[in-house]
């Protein structure tokens, strides 16, 4: 299967798309076609363990990789997860399930892809005959950063530089990043918000002088953000896997299907769900849940993408995003493959901060997605309510999804089974979760985790306890227009 840039006609193989990260024209690589799965394929998938499922699915999504080659990569990628099912399903209440994606080393769903990406990337580089060191540049709204640092730590032939918004991530997220060990890892705080950091990284990818400076140091650039195809493919796997389990266990039936609600920021996770649906997964409505940064809610409801609005810091910081990069891949499909159309929209977004799709495209968008949002107050209320009613502890991102899914059911009366995607451990955001469930906290964000554990008796991952005492290894701070210099300084000192 080939991949095309969302902004041009160029076709590349999967290994090439993964090594490059982003297309030279600034577009994202999107699949030209997707495999079609039958009911029997889902039944067969349900009989495999998670790494075997992932290897099978990736061998179909990524040309140039065989199942035999992918299976050991998948086994290694998921070896450090603290649940044997890797991405377990929990029954929340009748007909409602939670897909827990936070059992990896950094306690957020980013591990599902970022434990895999370094293996895919180094294998892709070999296939492409790439000799240079691959320098990963990544912007993070909180969780990608640590997951990338953890995934690429001391991987030969790679280095990773992570940019995070100064003051824009949670205390635990920041501590996780600035304590990262490894000879090839760099962490820089940017004076700006996530969109500034993400735009800065994208600009570096298109900056000939910077690319040249890196080349002089024997390095070529790639990305670990969800713009990289190697991030997206492992995410499609858990949707197919979850559907296979729901069907096999009789929790969903083929004809009714299941609604899927995803807490969304950059539109990567929910895009993977859309690809799973396109492959034949019995997914009905895709419910796109946002926090107070509700640009996607408005887009789905009106067809107008307007980023010209205040940026809000929320208790679900990994979704504090106004420019949802991965939406571009969906736009290519809305435009029926017309990359010129996508380029025009992205140009307008860049110059005017707004674009509007055509009426027939709005109808398609609204048919596939439901958009909703929850502010911090509603998010806290959801955490408290679900804890009291179901004794299930949700992190704020998951809670945004639960709150929006509830609105969806009330608004539409749709009785189909519901899958809520849980993207982080509640212990990653322990102070806010403790407050929401009425657990008194006396100390800082790290003590809050212990207190929350004692209060709820829900077991905390051991990484949380270790974090408080780890030494800070990274202190670099840069202006948002000086990110290139910060990268080079990291290599030169
Ligand atoms: C990254 C992240 C999200 C948003 O995912 P996107 O793929 O950017 O939409 C939601 N929740 C958590 C905990 C995250 O880390």
- Tell whether ligand 1 has an atom less than 6 A from the beta carbon of residue 424: yes
- Tell whether ligand 1 has an atom less than 6 A from the beta carbon of residue 290: no
Task: Tell whether pTM > 0.85.
Answer: yes
pLDDT per position as a tens digit, 177-195? 999 999 999 999 999 998 8
- Tell whether ligand 1 has an atom less than 6 A from the beta carbon of residue 226: yes
CA 244–ligand 1 middle distance (angstroms): 23
Q: So what CATH class is 85-104+230-428?
A: alpha beta
* Test site for ligand 1: of 227, 261, 263, 270, most ligand atoms within 8 A of the Cβ: 263
CA 153–ligand 1 middle distance (angstroms): 22
Q: Quick one: which of 225, 211, 159 has its CA closest to 24?
A: 211
- Tell whether ligand 1 has an atom less than 6 A from the beta carbon of residue 5: no
Q: Return the exposure string of 195-217: e unless at least 16 CB atoms fall within 10 Å of the residue's CB, then b.
A: bbbbbbbbebbeeeebbebbeee
pLDDT (tens, 9 = 90+) of the chain, 493 residues, equals 799 999 997 899 999 999 999 898 989 999 999 999 999 999 999 999 999 999 999 999 999 999 999 999 999 999 999 999 999 999 999 999 999 999 999 999 999 999 999 999 999 999 999 999 999 999 998 899 999 999 999 999 999 999 999 999 988 899 999 999 999 999 999 999 988 998 999 899 989 999 999 999 999 999 898 889 999 999 999 999 999 999 999 999 999 999 999 999 999 999 999 999 999 999 999 999 999 999 999 999 999 999 999 999 999 999 999 999 999 999 999 999 999 999 999 999 999 999 999 999 999 999 999 999 999 999 999 999 999 999 999 999 999 999 999 999 999 999 999 999 999 999 999 999 999 999 999 888 889 999 999 999 999 998 888 888 899 999 999 999 999 999 999 988 7
CA-nearest residue for atom 15, ligand 1, is: 143
Looking at residue 427, what DSSP letter applies?
G
CA-nearest residue for atom 8, ligand 1, is: 266
Q: Quick one: which of 175, 117, 98 has its CA closest to 142?
A: 175
Q: Quick one: which of 171, 170, 169, 163 has its CA closest to 190?
A: 163
Atom in ligand 1 nearest the alpha carbon of residue 428:
13
Q: State the pLDDT at residue 444.
A: 85
Q: State the pLDDT at residue 231.
A: 95
Q: State the pLDDT at residue 311.
A: 93
Q: How many CB atoms lie within 10 A of CB 457?
A: 9
Q: State the pLDDT at residue 443.
A: 82
CB distance 234 to 112 below 8 Å: yes
Q: Quick one: which of 138, 163, 413, 171 has its CA closest to 268?
A: 138
CA-nearest residue for atom 14, ligand 1, is: 318
Q: State the pLDDT at residue 149.
A: 97
The partner residues of 431 in beta bridges, in order of sequence, read none
- Tell whether ligand 1 has an atom less than 6 A from the beta carbon of residue 318: yes
Q: Quick one: which of 207, 328, 247 has its CA closest to 42?
A: 247
- Tell whether ligand 1 has an atom less than 6 A from the beta carbon of residue 6: no
Chain-centroid distance, C-alpha 328: 15
Q: State the pLDDT at residue 180.
A: 96
- Tell whether ligand 1 has an atom less than 6 A from the beta carbon of residue 266: yes
Q: State the pLDDT at residue 189.
A: 97
Q: In terms of C-beta density within 10 A (0-12 exposed, 13-18 middle, 19 or more buried), how is residue 44 classed?
A: middle
Using the structure block, give the residue that is written with the tokens 């995070």.
Answer: 164
Atom in ligand 1 nearest the alpha carbon of residue 270:
9
CB distance 17 to 24 below 8 Å: no
Q: DSSP readout, 253-316?
A: -TTT-EEEEEE-SSSHHHHHHHHHHHTT--EEEEEEEE-S--HHHHHHHHSEEE--S-----S-
Atom in ligand 1 nearest the alpha carbon of residue 395:
13
Reduced to 3 states, what is the DSSP secondary structure of residue 439?
A: coil
Q: State the pLDDT at residue 294.
A: 98
- Tell whether ligand 1 has an atom less than 6 A from the beta carbon of residue 110: yes
Atom in ligand 1 nearest the alpha carbon of residue 235:
7
Q: How many CB atoms lie within 10 A of CB 447?
A: 15
Q: State the pLDDT at residue 236.
A: 98
Q: State the pLDDT at residue 464.
A: 86
Looking at residue 464, what DSSP letter applies?
H
- Cα 307 to Cα 311: distance, rounded to the nearest angstrom: 9
Q: State the pLDDT at residue 31.
A: 96
Does residue 110 carry a catalytic annotation? yes
Sheet containing 476-479, strands listed edge to edge, beginning at the edge strand earlier in sequence: 219-223, 133-139, 158-165, 185-191, 476-479
CA 379–ligand 1 middle distance (angstroms): 15
- Tell whether ligand 1 has an atom less than 6 A from the beta carbon of residue 268: yes
- Cα 253 to Cα 124: distance, rounded to the nearest angstrom: 38
Q: Of the listed 110, 219, 277, 307, which one is catalytic?
A: 110
Q: State the pLDDT at residue 142.
A: 85
- Cα 192 to Cα 294: distance, rounded to the nearest angstrom: 20
């Amino acid at each position: 299967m080939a991949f095309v840039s969302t902004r041009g006609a160029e076709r590349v193989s999967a290994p090439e798309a993964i090594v490059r990260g982003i297309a030279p024209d600034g577009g994202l690589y999107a699949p030209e076609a997707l495999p079609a799965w039958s009911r029997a394929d889902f039944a067969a998938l349900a009989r495999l363990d998670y790494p075997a499922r992932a290897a099978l699915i990736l061998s179909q999504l990524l040309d140039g990789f065989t199942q035999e080659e992918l299976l050991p990569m998948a086994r290694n990628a998921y070896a450090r997860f603290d649940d044997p099912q890797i991405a377990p399903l929990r029954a929340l209440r009748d007909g409602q399930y939670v897909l827990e994606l936070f059992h990896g080393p950094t306690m957020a769903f980013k591990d599902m892809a970022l434990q895999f990406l370094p293996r895919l990337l180094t294998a892709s580089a070999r296939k492409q005959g790439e000799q240079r060191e691959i320098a990963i540049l990544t912007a993070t709204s909180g969780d990608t950063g640590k997951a990338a640092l953890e995934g690429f730590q001391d991987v030969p032939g790679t280095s990773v530089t992570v940019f995070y918004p100064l003051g824009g991530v949670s205390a635990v997220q920041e501590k996780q990043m600035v304590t990262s060990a490894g000879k090839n890892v760099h962490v820089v705080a940017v004076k700006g918000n996530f969109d500034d950091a993400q735009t800065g990284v994208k600009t570096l990818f298109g900056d000939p002088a910077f690319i040249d400076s890196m080349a002089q140091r024997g390095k070529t650039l790639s990305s670990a953000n969800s713009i990289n195809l190697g991030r997206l493919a492992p995410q499609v796997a858990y949707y197919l896997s979850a559907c296979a389990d729901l069907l096999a266990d009789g929790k969903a039936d083929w004809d009714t299907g299941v609604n899927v609600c995803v807490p969304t920021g950059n539109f990567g996770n929910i895009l993977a769900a859309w690809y799973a649906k396109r492959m034949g997964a019995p997914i009905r409505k895709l419910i796109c849940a946002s926090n107070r940064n509700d640009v996607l809610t408005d887009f789905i409801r009106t067809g107008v993408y307007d980023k010209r609005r205040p940026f809000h810091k929320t208790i679900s910081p990994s979704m504090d995003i106004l420019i949802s990069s991965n939406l571009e891949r969906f736009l290519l499909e809305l435009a029926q493959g017309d990359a010129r159309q996508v380029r025009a929209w992205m140009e307008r977004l860049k110059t005017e901060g707004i674009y509007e799709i055509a009426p027939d495209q709005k109808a398609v968008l609204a048919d596939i997605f439901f958009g909703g949002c929850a502010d911090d107050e509603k998010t806290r209320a959801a955490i408290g309510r679900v804890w009291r009613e179901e004794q299930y502890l949700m992190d704020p991102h998951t809670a945004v999804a639960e709150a929006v899914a509830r609105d969806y059911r009330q608004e539409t009366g749709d009785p189909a089974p519901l899958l809520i995607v849980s993207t982080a451990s509640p212990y990653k955001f322990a102070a806010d979760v403790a407050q929401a469930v009425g657990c008194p906290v006396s100390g800082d964000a790290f003590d809050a985790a212990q207190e929350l554990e004692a209060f709820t008796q829900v077991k905390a991952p051991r990484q949380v306890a270790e974090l408080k005492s780890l030494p800070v290894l990274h202190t670099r701070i840069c202006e948002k227009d000086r990110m290139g210099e910060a990268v080079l300084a990291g290599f030169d000192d």
